[in-house]
Structure formats: C-alpha cells, structure tokens
Chains A and B, each alone.
Chain A
Amino acid sequence: MEQKKIWQSFGELNQSEAFNKDVKDEFKEELPFAAEESNSFLEAKAPRRDFLKYLGFSTAAAAAAASCEMPVKKSIPFANRPEEIVPGVSKYYATTYVQDGDVVAVLAKVRDGRPIKLEGNDYSPVTGGGTSARVQASVLDLYDTARLRFPTIDGKEVTFEAADMSIADAVKGASGTVILTSTITSPTTKEVIAQFLAKFPGSRHVTYDAVSFSGMLQANELTFGKKAIPSYMFQNAKAIVSLGADFLGTWLSPVEFAKQYANGKKINEKNPEMSKHIHFESVASLTGSNADEKFLHRPSETAAIAAALLSAVKGSEVSIADKKLKEGIEKAAKALNANKGAALVVSGSNDVNVQVIVNAINDAIGAYGVTIDWASTLNYRAGIDADFVKLVDDMNAGTVGALLIHGANPSYSWFAADKFNAGLKKVKTTISFNTKLDETSVLCKYVLPDHHFLESWGDAEGKSGYISLIQPTINPLFKTRQWQDSLLKWSGATADYLAFVKNYWSAKVGGETGWDKALQAGVINPSLALSAVKGTFNGSAVAAAITAATSGKKAGAVEIVLYEKVGIGAGQGASNPWLQELPDPVTRATWDNYVVVSPKMAKELVKIDLNNNGQADAYEVNPPKPCVKVTVNGKSIELPVLIIPGTQENTIGIALGYGRSENIGKAAAGVGKNAFILAGLAGSTVSFSADATVTATGEKYPVALTQTHSRYDTAQGNRTEVMKELSLAEYMANPKEILNDREEELKPYGGIEKFEGQGTIYPIYNRPGIKWGMSVDLNSCNGCGACVVACNAENNVSVVGKPEVLRGHEMHWLRIDRYFSGDMENPNVVFQPMMCQHCDNAPCENVCPVAATNHSSEGLNQMTYNRCIGTRYCANNCPYKVRRFNWADYTGADSFPDNQEGIVNDVVMNMNDDLTRMVLNPDVTVRSRGVIEKCSFCVQRLQEAKLTAKKDSRPLEDADLKVACQQACPTHAITFGNANNKESAISKVRVDNPNRSFYVLEQLHVLPGVTYLAKVRNAEEEKAGKTEEKKAEKA
C-alpha cells in the first residue's frame, strides 16, 4: 500500500522553493556569529543571539575563573601495603655514590619507596662515613626533570628493542668500535667492557677524564713502572707540602683525604701536636685556605719550585729569585727533612715532569711506604690524555666506525671540542648512554638513557681492595636501562648485569649468604688491613724531568689557572640547584663562574683598591662587578671579576664546569661561561694553566655572593668575640690565652663562671633532663660545604635561584662563614660553620609579638611556622643573622597558590615540580611564604632518637642520633648531643677543650648552645690583628 502523504502546509505539499530553503535553514550548522566584514558588533546580523552567547560564555568563564579553588593534591594510600614498608618509617639501603670516577660509599634513606637523603656509610674505611657536597646533592639528580625518559634514535622516541635491533646492525658492520668512558672503577663493568671488546675485534676502550691525572699516571709509570696512582695517607704525615693539589676539595678523593688530614689537625689540648701543612699555589683554593702556611707563585713557576724543593730537600741551595718563595721552599724543605719518614708532598700539576720530580722528593723524604702506599692504588682517575688525542685524530681520519660514550662529555670539556665534534660527525654509529642529553649526547645518533646510580646495580673499587656495592633504592622512574645491560645484550650475553654482578661477587665472598651480607653492609673490605708497600722508585727519569720542566719559555705578564669548584667540579654539579646555590667555600659566590684576581691586580685592572674604604665598600655592597675579557691563545671569554686575597698577583683563576647546555637542566641554563676552551695541550698532557691577556671591558655583571665582607677586624677593633684563631706557637706559649681573653671580657659580670647569673637582671632557670648542645672544631672544619647541602636535603631548605641570592634572600640554615685575616695579599683563612646557636637567652624569642619562636625545655630555640606572622623582628634581632624569611613562595606551599610565575625564576619553579618534590623529607614541614625559618638542630631526628630510646626503656645515648650536618662531615668537626649527660661526646669535648672553647659573641649574654673550638694554625706568626693591638697598647 502506498504510504499516505501527510503535509502541514502547501509549501510542503508542493515542495516549493521557499519551503525547502526554510527546512534547510531551520537548524543551521554554522554558528550565526556576525560576519567578519560587518562594521560593528551591534550592526551584525544577529546581534542579540551573539550577545547572549558572548554573555553566557563570559559569565561562565568569569565564574570558572573566580571560583578557582586550592589545587587538590591527591595522596593515595596503598591498597595492599608491601610488607617491608611502614609508612613514616625510613629504611636505609647501603649503596654507592658514583659519578665519573668518584666513589663514596653511602646509605640511602628511603621513605615510602623513595630515596630522600644520602648518608655516609660508616663501614667504609675509606671515607669513614664522610660525604661531600656533591654526594649529598646527588639524590636530587635522581628526580631531575631534565633526565632522559626514553631511548631515541636521531631524536625520535623508540623502544629499547627497536634501538637494540638498529644498533645490532650498525655495530656489527662497524670497524674500529670505541667505547669512550670516564674513569671506570667498577670491576664488573670493566669485565663487561672486556667481554664486549672481545666480541667485536678491532674495538678498544678509551678512558677520558675532563680534568685528567694523566701527568701523574705517566710519571708513576716512569718512576715506578705502574700507570697507576698510589694511595695517600695524610694521617701519617707530620709535614705535608702541597704544590697546588686541592686535596681537600677536588683532588682525587677529597672525602678520604679530608678525613685523614683532619686527623693531623685535631689537637689534644694537653699535648698539642699538629701536622704542618705548607701550601704553594697560584689561585686561592679550599686546601690552600686550610694550610698552616701558604706561598703564592705563578703557575709557570710550578716546575721550578718542585725542582728547587727537591734540591733543598737534598740539602742544596735554592735558586729561586723571589725572596718570599725562596723562604717558603726552604721552610718546606726543613719541615720535610725534620719529619723524614712522616712527610708527604703532593702536586696538582698535570705535567709529567713535575710529577716525576715530586715522586723524587717523596722518595728522598721517605714518603713511600709510610704516607704513600703502593699496596692499593687509587682508581678514581685513569684517563690518559694522549689516548684521547689519538681517538680524536682517528675519528677525524674516519677510522672509528662506532663510538659508544658513557660518562665522557668531550663536546663540553675537551678544549678542542670543535675538533671532537667534527670527528664525531664522521663516526657512522654514535651511541650515548647518559642520564641527560648533554653536549655530547645531543650530537649522537642513538641516545640510550642510563639509570641514576640510585636505580642501579653495580660495584665500585675506588681504592683497590676496598669494594663498595651499588643496589637500587627505587624502581627506575623512566624508560631507562643500565648501560652495562646494553653492552651485555649486544655482546650476546644471556644474563643481565644484576646476575653478572651477583655471580661475580658471590664467587668472591662465599656464595649467596656472603653476597647478601656484603650487600647489606654495602662494602667489602680486605679482611686484614693491607700493610703499606713502598714500591721501587726508579730515579733515572728525574734529571731529564728537571731539565725539561725548568727550561720552558718565559711566561707572559698574566697567567691563568683553570680550577674546579667543590660543588660544580668539572661540570657534573652544574645542573644541580643545591650545588649551584652552595656558595663556593673560598669566594662565597653562587650561580656563576668569574675571574678570580688578587687585590693588587684589581687595583690596576678594574681600579678597585680594597685598602681604600670607599672603594672597598662600594665593591662589597654592590653585586654588579666589573667585567674583564680574558684571552688565551686567541680564544676569549668575558666574565665578571671577584677580588680574592690569597691569589698570586700576576695570576687569574676561572672555575671550570660552567656554561653548560640547558638540556641538562634549568639550573645550568645560562650560568657562567665554559672555561675548558682556555685549556690546551702542553706536551702530551692537558694543561689547565696558560698565558693570558686580561682587559677590562667597562661593563658590569651581578655576581650572587652570600658573604660580602670577609674580615673581622674593623677600624673600631678586632672582633675577636666572633672568631678566635691563634698559632700553635702562641698556644704552646700560653695555652690559656683564649680562656683569659674570655675571662677578661666577662670580668664585670663575675667572670665566665658567674656570667650566666650576673649578666642579666632576670632569674636563671634550671635545665634538667636533656640539654642539646653542639660543638664545632674549627681545626677540623675545612669549609667543604658537605654539611650545607646535607642540611638542605634533610630540612627541605628552599632553593631560591640567582636573582634571589643577589638580593640576600638565600635560605640556607647552615652557612660556612669565611674570614680573612692578616696580610691582604696572602691572608690567613678560617672557616666558621654558622647555624642557629639555640641561645638559652635568645634575643629572637622575646621580640616575637605572637610567641612563634620559643624555647623548648631541652634547650632548643623552636620555630612554630603556623604561628608566625612574619614581622621579621626576630631576624633583625638575631646577632648571628641565621634566621631566614620566605620572601616569596619558594615551595609552592602558599595560601595563594601558583602565582609565582615571573616572581621566582625557573629553577625555583622547577624545584616545585611533582617529580622534584619527591626528594622532600616528609618529616619536615615545607615552609610557606611569609614565615621565618632556621636551623632546628634537626628536631625530627632528635624526636626519632628519643622515641628509639624510649621504646628500649633506656636513657638517650649518643649513638641514637646524628644531626644531618654532623653526619655529612668527613672530618667529624661537629659534635652534637645531650650536654647534660656527662658521658656524652659533647660534654667530653667541652671538658677536654677548656682552652680552645668559645662562644661566638659570648659577651651579649644570649647564652648560645653552640661551642666553637678555636682555630690553631701550625705557624709561628702572631695571630691576625694582634700586632696592631699591641702596637696600639704601646702607643
């Protein structure tokens, strides 16, 4: 049946044109907005509709914008809790910090599955539980947002399987495969490499160190027949002479050496004895700053000094023109000869000849077998410059078919990076194993992301015989693979690297149980302490070395020294915000490198005379510093100038490790300039000093210094209440000098004994129970900064970035003050860690209107963040200026959330990234904007220790706790504990050192809880400023 037609209108019935159009337009597809060409909104075709639409949209948008709530941060509990994880309880895993050749055994503190802090491993006899700033900071690298997250081929994301397949083809066909690495200390990795090399004939392994020890390795080969570095035992040396070796800061194994060195520097008050350290250097370094006596020389004179020292040690005449230097060499020779068999000479030079001469001196003074030990070698640096030079030539010649790079970054750190890069282009297959897309990796075809060491398995043998194991503390965060696994896979091994390591060590330590035990301890030590081996010194090369070294061409008017900084090193620390913000111990600068010049040179170069108060003040209080252009061999860089006393007057210094690519992290972007380009080859080794020309550019550039003034003597008097230092001779002559000074100062209040009661009109209180106290030995402290970074990590101390440091907004709870005293050109230097003194009569406490800072019954000066309203009165009234104010929302914890874009810089914003925030310690409140914070004596650790003792129903003991700074310190300069317990270490330190103990600004009657032990320097001179005082008394 035909369907009946139903119509509503004639139009529909007849299907008229008008009807059809209406039907078509009834539900128009396009929005009836005003046509673009219409003159104005209201004249548009459908203004009313548009108006309503716009109105509706904007109302909704405004409502949405206005009703923005605090972002909800989700925390999700475990549905099924893993057995070993107890929320709120930390677990510690023994592992090892490895970075290039550096090795430090550590314990990783893991909270709820994420490592948040590294502590030194006490079981390691090498480091003795000490760490360095870089070790402490390395946990932050794990959570770096710049880390590579997946493998790439030509920059495109691929899977590991795809990459493996592609590489298998590429490598199979390649002739002349080279594995380029930084120094490898891992025995198993060496084995893995050996397997790989065996699999691919014609392949080789080249080791490259950014700052190489080639000269030393080669010198030892010449004189001992071993291309290795012996171990040093500074603890056995009564006389130490260093020719520019920064062994406390950056040279070989600073943590180990600092520990050993401090042994000779800690003094027993009753029988004061110290090692004597004489230092020769050109640019002020951390080690030079700690020396008992320091002599300045031009870098070109290094060889001559070494040769002169050798002849002086042998009793011949010293032929050095400079009077001061000659005196210094004679002094050094005298000290070395006086302590024959307990003396040591080290040199930081990379010149083979100099190192040969140094070996000859060490042989002459009987150092071998006592202070230098061939029984175990130091394996931290193994690169030979000549090998790398050859590799670069081969690459350019096109004889390298495949290059596998791990750890090495020559595109950044090789002085002729252009040549290396050109060679790299000629290599068909370039593979980089890296955690970040650094300067070299970015040029490689294949980039296979590597684990961070906290995600890895492995081992390290920094000092032969002393093994340290690496175990993962967290699942890999990204699609990364350990590079050893890649090598194993490509060489056709079936077992993975974990099995490899496990088998390797199980075989040596007695099976599965032994392995488990070793893993638990983290270290495998020789069962018996190795007895020292003298080695056989072959002096045949010495005469030639002396001739070669001292017959160099005459040096230019100005010379340059390129040095490493404690935190940044050769650039490894550049992407780490904690390390960038760690003030350099000597210059106290952050976030930049610069040209270090002497006061004398500054006078002529940039017209700043530090003896002129007006000029000195202007230089100090204004962050913009004059810039200079430094030219070496036609390459030049422009940098600001910092005037650092203790630098040789014709020498300038520039730190390496800056000017890195921003691919490696926001913290590195635009910070400083790369000074590696100024290095050069001298003979077969890379030389980090050269002739330079320096010209002032007339421009200024701000440098973020955390300490602007460096002397504690003023025209109005020497502020000896701040810092006390004296020479050993003085101390021997009058051991009670400091005590007497204090007694004299407090005489009006009945002397030291009665000062607490009589120095105030208020009643004094009993302090029963626990009374926390700290003591810092200024003799042991070498200023390395490990404690500063440890404090940052433990207490969630904010990074504020360069613009904020420039404005004096840095947040460090613990800082290391550095003071110069004495001669302006070659001063004495002393370091003073300064943190909240936890005063018993604290000036900050009584001024707070809301009692946000108050005193605990255990002697802590407490800060109650949620009570603080931010008047900053406490900070003003703190004589130690240790209180820090949250000037901006550095932590993203503010009540006005997410409004700091453009207020704080990218580095700080990045610290608040969800990934980076994983490093935060959940035991410590993250402070919000507008409140004061400061050192709490790690109250969270104290609380935990008290609970431990309570659970065991016993009184608290020293062993229950270590505060973060104390734990990190490689020299055990910091003692902490319950001062009311007569048996505690802190009580003993105070009782045993009555003559050296002092409180900073004791006369103020703030009753600090931190004792300092005065710095004693093994020198004959009188202490700084004292001569003037005596003169004044006479007059």
Chain B
Amino acid sequence: MHLKYESQLREPLVNGDKNYHQVTEDIVRPIEAKPTKLWYVGFYIAVSLLLFGVYAIYRDVTYGIGQWNLNKTVGWGWDITNFVWWVGIGHAGTLISAILLLFRQGWRTGVNRAAEAMTIFAVMCAGQFPIWHMGRVWMAFFVFPYPNSRGPLWVNFNSPLLWDVFAIGTYFTVSLLFWYSGLLPDFATVRDRAFTKLRKRLYGIAAFGWTGSTKHWQRHESLSLVLAGLSTPLVLSVHTIVSFDFATSVIPGWHTTIFPPYFVAGAIFSGFAMVQTLMLMIRKIFSMEDYITVGHIEAMNKVIVLTGSIVGVAYLTELFMGWYSQNKYEGYTFWYSRANLFSPYGWSYWGMMACNVLSPQIFWFRKMRRNLFVTFFMSIIVNIGMWFERFVIIVTSLYRDYLPSSWSVYYSPTIWEIGFYTGTFGLFFTCFFLFAKYFPVIAIAEIKYVLKTTGDGYKDKMGHLEHVPVEVFTHSGHGHTIVENDAASHG
C-alpha cells in the first residue's frame, strides 16, 4: 500500500542507510536485552505512584468522597478534570493510526505504535475517574443496561454520563483491537528470534500463530483498513460525547454549543503533545533517533500549532458570546469568574491561555519546531495548559453559578485527590514501561514498508536516477536492479 513515488525534497522518514535486518535488530534489541538502569528507576517510580494512587482510591471508597474537597456547589473537581484530560490525551493515538492511515501519511509509521499504546493506557487512566468518583462504586454496574429483576429497570438513555459509558467503552475496544492487530506480525518477528523456550511460547501465543503467509498479510491489511474506518468517527465522537457532559447541562459556562469541535481540537492538541513527550523519551532511552526523526517531531508540532490555534479561537468565541448574548449569568462566568485575572480562579484561566494559545505560537518558526528541547518543553506546557482548560471549564463554571447564595468556598484538592491523579500517572507509566520493555515500540512491519520508498538509503540511490532521462531509465533496467538489491538485503 505504500507503493508510491516520493519527491527527493521530502526528508527521509527513516535515517541511516538501514536494511530490513537492521530495522528488526534496532527495534527488537531492547526487548531481548536486559533493561537499563534508567528503565528500572522509571519503572519503580511509576509503580510507587500507582500504589499511592491505589491507597488514595482505597480511602475514597472506604471513607467516602468526603476524602476529597468537593462540596455542595462544586460536585466535580479534579476527578472529572483528570478524566477529560486523560481522555483527551487518548485521542492522538487513534488519530495517528486511523486517520493518518486513511490519508496515507507515511510519517505516522515511526510513531503510531507508541501513540496507540499511549491511547490505550490513557483511556485506561481516564476510565478510573468516572468509576472511583462515584459515591457508591460498588453499585457501578447499574450503569450497564443489563436485564434485571427490578422491573426491569433500565438506565437513563437521556444522560450524557451513560453516553460516556458507551462512547469510551467502544473507543477503548476498537483502539485495543487496532493496536493489537498491528502488533501481530511484530510479535511473530520477536517469536522467531526468541532464544528461550518460554519466550518463544509466550510471544507465540501473542502472535496468534502468525506465519507471514500472503493470506495473513492480505487479511491483516484489510482488517487494518476496516478498523481504521471504524476508529475514524470514534476520534471525533468520543470527545464530542464527553463534551456533552457539559454542553447538555444548564450551568453557565457548560451550556455551550461550541463544545464538541472545541473539545475534539483540544483533545488532538493535548494528545499530540503527550505523544511528543513520550516519543522524545523513547527516542533517547532506546536510541531510536533513526526511526523517530526530527521530521516526525516537526510534523507533530505543526499539528500542535494548528489545534492550539483552534482552541484559541474557541476561547475567544466563548468570551465574545459571553458578551454578545447579553446573558448576565454567562457574562459573569466568562468575564468575571474566568477572564478576570483577579477573581479567585483567574490564575487558572490565564494559565490556560498562556499555555494553550500563546506559547504554541512559537511553532510558526521552523527552527523551534525542529528544536528537540523546545519541543519537549512545549509538550509539557501544552498538557499543563489543557489540564487548566478542563479545570477552568469544570470548576469556574460550577463554583459561582445561578444563585449567589450557593457560591462556593475556594475549592482546592486534598492529598487524596492529588494522589488519585498521580496514581493514574503511575498506572500510565507502569504500563508504558512494560510496553517499552516487552513490546516492539515501533511498528517493524510498517517501517519496512516506508523504508522502501522513503528510507534514507533508498532516497540516496533514487537521487542519482533523478538525473537520468526517462528513456535511458526505462531501457537500462535500473529500476529492476534496485528492487533486486533491496530484496537481497531483506533481513
């Protein structure tokens, strides 16, 4: 599917004159070698965060949601902020895998595996919040429409929270399938190289008996396309539905029709930022500079500046509507509770503006887009900004709503709310470290596709042919030679 001609002006997607064997070697090496010290340090930190998170949840389940600082007016705080934040992060993976696959964006191959893994882990983290924020989590199964002896008593299909259950459930399932089906040929590669029986057996099971036959490849590619087709609308739908949690309510600051596109753009924005953070780390730790090139980084930075500007426009639109609608309740929420720097939560709004709208604008400069340090720093800033965005939407809308009598005292989290949040970081990175150790972090098979047309070595050789007249080229059999050479170097 990648048989195409690509201009010499485009940067190669894989650097270093690699052949197929080298690709396999480079990517599978970390799986076969002992983990580095750095890996252990990271893994243990992640596990401790996770354990603290588990304890924080234990407290909230046994002693009550009063372990958190939420109150009669602010019923959702860090819990749902973090939920939306993680769901947003979980968007880039599927976007990269599905939409970019359909659009034939070759550069996705370097990052799609890790990005999809990130999606799955992020959605797992996101899912913790709506579950554990329930007052009676042991009754959480009430949200499923299962046949029962209570009437039967059904769930409330009008509730956006129920839509969340379905939207996120679907998204998680499809993303997981997509990710796993892509992993099959790579698992087979690892299995074939295995040096212990156990390894062979485990990777053998994971590979589902993949033999690399043409039939397998054909089915694999069809499945990829079908799943890509299924996932594409999901990328848009999940955050749209999450935004309905707010948009369908009556609370000023929530009751906003702009939310679906604004949330989706924001999700892609934060998702890409998170991919950047992780990619730069993987690139460094596993020496994958040849596969995750500066070109990849730059492409993603372009997406970041685009989506960052979209959310910026959304913020300004909200402000404008707050004034234009002449609705005093909306006006108060947008102009006082948020845009007024000196109001109690003014800092969060301006933090959001600075992180999400102003700072990404430096990516208009190519030099900045290609600067790894700036990119890493910005990727963190963007995710902080996007956390602020969700916090602003949830808390500043709630804490001063319709009746001035019920305006809230200042809400700030307890250690257990923070612990729950850092616990999901623990979960995320624990999974990610395990993934990085035991799974091929880059799609070996897919890299090999693009290697042929956009690899450094291929481009180099094709470069000479650029100058060869067409007649000479067709009669000289050059093309044939190159294909043969390539086949000979197959790992």
Contacts of A1004 in B (CB 8 A): 250, 402
Q: Does B159 contact A (CB under 8 A)?
A: yes
Q: In this complex, what residue of B is CB-closest to A808?
A: B71
CA–CA, A817 and B407, complex, Å: 11
Q: Mark B337-349, 1 if CB is under 8 A from A, else 0.
A: 0001011100000
Q: Mark A888-925, 1 if CB is under 8 A from B, else 0.
A: 11000011100110011000000000000000000000
Stretch binding the partner chain, chosen from A114-122, A626-634, A876-884, A958-966: A876-884
Q: In this complex, what residue of A is CB-closest to B143?
A: A849
Contacts of A819 in B (CB 8 A): 404-405
Question: Given A872-B75, A881-B73, A621 and B161 touching (CB < 8 A)?
Answer: no
User: In the complex, are the beta carbons of B343 and A617 less than 8 A apart?
Assistant: yes
User: In the complex, are the beta carbons of A708 and B407 less than 8 A apart?
Assistant: yes
Contact of A885 among B72, B158, B251, B343 (CB under 8 A): B72
User: In the complex, are the beta carbons of A809 and B402 less than 8 A apart?
Assistant: no
User: In the complex, are the beta carbons of A716 and B75 less than 8 A apart?
Assistant: no
State the Cβ distance, A829 to closest chain B Cβ, in Å. Answer: 13
User: In the complex, are the beta carbons of A873 and B155 less than 8 A apart?
Assistant: no
User: In the complex, are the beta carbons of B156 and A885 less than 8 A apart?
Assistant: no
- Tier of interface size on chain B: 35 or more
User: In the complex, are the beta carbons of B342 and A722 less than 8 A apart?
Assistant: no
Q: Does B359 contact A (CB under 8 A)?
A: no
Q: Does A949 contact B (CB under 8 A)?
A: no
User: In the complex, are the beta carbons of B140 and A896 less than 8 A apart?
Assistant: no
Q: Does A870 contact B (CB under 8 A)?
A: yes
Q: Does A543 contact B (CB under 8 A)?
A: no
Contact of B63 among A848, A903, A931 (CB under 8 A): A903
Q: Does A599 contact B (CB under 8 A)?
A: no
Q: Mark B372-403, 1 if CB is under 8 A from A, else 0.
A: 00000000000000000000000000101111
Q: In this complex, what residue of B is CB-closest to A931?
A: B135
Contact of B134 among A807, A881, A930 (CB under 8 A): A930
Contacts of B158 in A (CB 8 A): 846-847
Contacts of B340 in A (CB 8 A): 613
State the Cβ distance, B135 to closest chain A Cβ, in Å. Answer: 2
Contacts of A510 in B (CB 8 A): none
Q: Does B284 contact A (CB under 8 A)?
A: no
User: In the complex, are the beta carbons of B66 and A887 less than 8 A apart?
Assistant: yes
User: In the complex, are the beta carbons of A903 and B160 less than 8 A apart?
Assistant: no
Q: Identify whether the interface residues of B are mostly helix, strand, loop, or mixed.
A: loop
User: In the complex, are the beta carbons of B250 and A1006 less than 8 A apart?
Assistant: yes
Q: Does B408 contact A (CB under 8 A)?
A: yes
User: In the complex, are the beta carbons of B159 and A613 less than 8 A apart?
Assistant: no
Q: Which of B140-179 contact A (CB under 8 A)?
A: 140, 142-143, 153-156, 158-162, 165
User: In the complex, are the beta carbons of B409 and A869 less than 8 A apart?
Assistant: no
User: In the complex, are the beta carbons of B155 and A849 less than 8 A apart?
Assistant: yes
Q: In this complex, what residue of A is CB-closest to B164?
A: A849
State the Cβ distance, A803 to closest chain B Cβ, in Å. Answer: 10
Q: Does A42 contact B (CB under 8 A)?
A: no
Question: Given A807-B409, A872-B75, A881-B406, A849 and B165 touching (CB < 8 A)?
Answer: yes
Contacts of B135 in A (CB 8 A): 868-872, 885-886, 929-932
State the Cβ distance, A366 to closest chain B Cβ, in Å. Answer: 42
User: In the complex, are the beta carbons of B250 and A879 less than 8 A apart?
Assistant: yes
Question: Given A887-B66, A1006-B250, A834 and B405 touching (CB < 8 A)?
Answer: yes
Contact of A809 among B63, B71, B139, B406 (CB under 8 A): B71
State the Cβ distance, B438 to closest chain A Cβ, in Å. Answer: 36
Q: Which of B33-81 contact A (CB under 8 A)?
A: 62-66, 69-76
CA–CA, A877 and B245, complex, Å: 10
Q: In this complex, what residue of A is CB-closest to B64?
A: A888
User: In the complex, are the beta carbons of B408 and A708 less than 8 A apart?
Assistant: yes
CA–CA, A710 and B402, complex, Å: 13
CA–CA, A125 and B475, complex, Å: 119
Q: Does A680 contact B (CB under 8 A)?
A: no
Contact of A850 among B62, B142, B332 (CB under 8 A): B142
CA–CA, A819 and B403, complex, Å: 10
Contacts of B105 in A (CB 8 A): none
User: In the complex, are the beta carbons of A887 and B156 less than 8 A apart?
Assistant: no
Interface residue total, chain A, C-beta cutoff 8 A: 77
State the Cβ distance, B67 to closest chain A Cβ, in Å. Answer: 8
Contacts of B76 in A (CB 8 A): 872-873, 876
Q: Does B85 contact A (CB under 8 A)?
A: no
Q: Does B331 contact A (CB under 8 A)?
A: yes
Q: Does B201 contact A (CB under 8 A)?
A: no
Q: In this complex, what residue of A is CB-closest to B79?
A: A872
Contact of A843 among B63, B250, B335, B343 (CB under 8 A): B250
User: In the complex, are the beta carbons of A930 and B65 less than 8 A apart?
Assistant: yes
CA–CA, A867 and B141, complex, Å: 11
Q: Does A743 contact B (CB under 8 A)?
A: no
Contacts of A851 in B (CB 8 A): 153-156, 159
Question: Given A809-B72, A817-B403, A851-B155, A708 and B409 touching (CB < 8 A)?
Answer: yes
State the Cβ distance, A785 to closest chain B Cβ, in Å. Answer: 15
User: In the complex, are the beta carbons of A716 and B66 less than 8 A apart?
Assistant: no
Q: In this complex, what residue of A is CB-closest to B142?
A: A850
Contacts of A806 in B (CB 8 A): 409
CA–CA, A932 and B401, complex, Å: 19
Q: Does A714 contact B (CB under 8 A)?
A: yes
CA–CA, A806 and B344, complex, Å: 18
Contact of A930 among B130, B136, B329, B343 (CB under 8 A): B136
State the Cβ distance, A981 to closest chain B Cβ, in Å. Answer: 30
Q: In this complex, what residue of B is CB-closest to A928?
A: B136
User: In the complex, are the beta carbons of B404 and A846 less than 8 A apart?
Assistant: no
User: In the complex, are the beta carbons of B335 and A716 less than 8 A apart?
Assistant: yes
Contact of B402 among A880, A885, A886 (CB under 8 A): A880
Contacts of A834 in B (CB 8 A): 403, 405
State the Cβ distance, B290 to closest chain A Cβ, in Å. Answer: 48
User: In the complex, are the beta carbons of B65 and A817 less than 8 A apart?
Assistant: no
Q: Mark A587-625, 1 if CB is under 8 A from B, else 0.
A: 000000000000000000000000001100110111100
Contact of A881 among B66, B72, B343 (CB under 8 A): B72
Contacts of B63 in A (CB 8 A): 888-889, 896, 899-900, 903
User: In the complex, are the beta carbons of B407 and A709 less than 8 A apart?
Assistant: yes
Q: In this complex, what residue of B is CB-closest to A710?
A: B404
Q: Does B5 contact A (CB under 8 A)?
A: no
Q: Does B366 contact A (CB under 8 A)?
A: no
User: In the complex, are the beta carbons of A847 and B160 less than 8 A apart?
Assistant: yes
State the Cβ distance, A70 to closest chain B Cβ, in Å. Answer: 14
Q: Does B283 contact A (CB under 8 A)?
A: no
State the Cβ distance, A516 to closest chain B Cβ, in Å. Answer: 49
CA–CA, A717 and B336, complex, Å: 12
Q: Does B248 contact A (CB under 8 A)?
A: yes
User: In the complex, are the beta carbons of B66 and A804 less than 8 A apart?
Assistant: yes
Contacts of B365 in A (CB 8 A): none
Q: Does B195 contact A (CB under 8 A)?
A: no
Contact of B328 among A714, A848, A900 (CB under 8 A): A714
User: In the complex, are the beta carbons of A847 and B343 less than 8 A apart?
Assistant: no
- The interface of chain A, by Cβ under 8 A from chain B, is 613-614, 617-618, 620-623, 705, 707-712, 714-719, 722, 804, 806-810, 815, 817-819, 832, 834, 843, 846-851, 867-873, 875-877, 879-881, 883-889, 894-896, 899-900, 903-904, 928-932, 1000-1001, 1004, 1006
Q: A886-B64, A888-B63, A899-B63 are in contact. List 20 more A-B contacts (CB 8 A).
A: A614-B343, A617-B344, A621-B410, A707-B406, A708-B409, A709-B405, A712-B404, A722-B403, A815-B405, A848-B156, A850-B156, A871-B134, A879-B403, A881-B401, A881-B402, A888-B64, A899-B62, A900-B63, A932-B135, A1000-B403
Please provide the 6 A-B residue pairs with the shortest distance between their CB atoms, ordered closest to farther. Answer: A870-B135, A930-B135, A808-B71, A717-B328, A887-B66, A881-B406
